[in-house]
Structures are given as C-alpha cells and as structure tokens.
Structure 1
C-alpha cells in the first residue's frame, strides 16, 4: 500500500519536473489543444445576458482604464 503511494508520488513529481523543464526551455505556457470555449461558439467565459455585480464592476473598470489610456498624452 505504501509503495503504491510512493510510486504514484514519484511519477507525479517526475511529470511536474518535466513540464517545468519544458516551460523553461520553450518559454511557452501550457495550453489546451482543443480550442476550449471557442469550439462551442462561446466567445467569452461569461456568456450571460445579465452579468453579476462583480462582473459589471470589472467591465466598468476595464472601460475606464481603456478611456484613460486612449486619452493619455504621454
């Protein structure tokens, strides 16, 4: 029982080690290969007609920042 746990832990540790080496060499983040939500026709993570208050605040903040950046002189 304990040897199975140790073997599984070592395999998992080896997997993470190899992933980190791949990231260090390629400098590219791990990403999905299936296209994610775009395949389903959903263009954004929150596809609600009426977003929640937290989402509305984030959207308003990003619009405000975009306007500030657009009107910035320097």
Structure 2
C-alpha cells in the first residue's frame, strides 16, 4: 500500500506541475507533428469519392439537419 500511495503522490505532483506550466504559458496544447494537415491531407480518408457507408451516414445526417431546421421554422 505504501508503494501505491507514493506512486499516486508522484503522479499527482507531476500532473500539478504540468498544469501550472500550461496555465502560465497560456499556449494551446498541440501535437508534436501537426497531424495529417501537415502532410497535406485534409481528411482521414484521402479518397476522391466517399464509400457507400460514408455516403449513407452523410445522407442521414443531412436529413436529420433538414428535419431540425424545418421544426425550428414552424
């Protein structure tokens, strides 16, 4: 139990130190490599045409948005 408490205290201190550093620097948290945008890929799948599964999801989302817009107007 002593090892657990010591480890827990160390983790809490490290997280607190990182938090204080983040608060004083006031910088946004960012990845080290910039993600896919840094290599010119705008989306996860760089296909010119989405697959059928994605098309179905997009159609459902569009229909849901249209329904919500229609209900807001009335």
Partner of 1:12: 11
1:9, distance to aligned residue in structure 2 (A): 0.8
Greater displacement, 34-43 / 9-18: 34-43
1:18, distance to aligned residue in structure 2 (A): 1.1
Partner of 2:68: none
Deviations 1:10-61 (A, max 9, x none): 11111211111111111113222133334676432x31632361xx238xx7
* CA radius of gyration, larger in: 2
Mark the runs of 5 or more structure 1 residues left unpaired by the alignment: 62-74
Mark the runs of 5 or more structure 2 residues left unpaired by the alignment: 66-74
Partner of 2:34: 35
How many residues are aligned here? 55
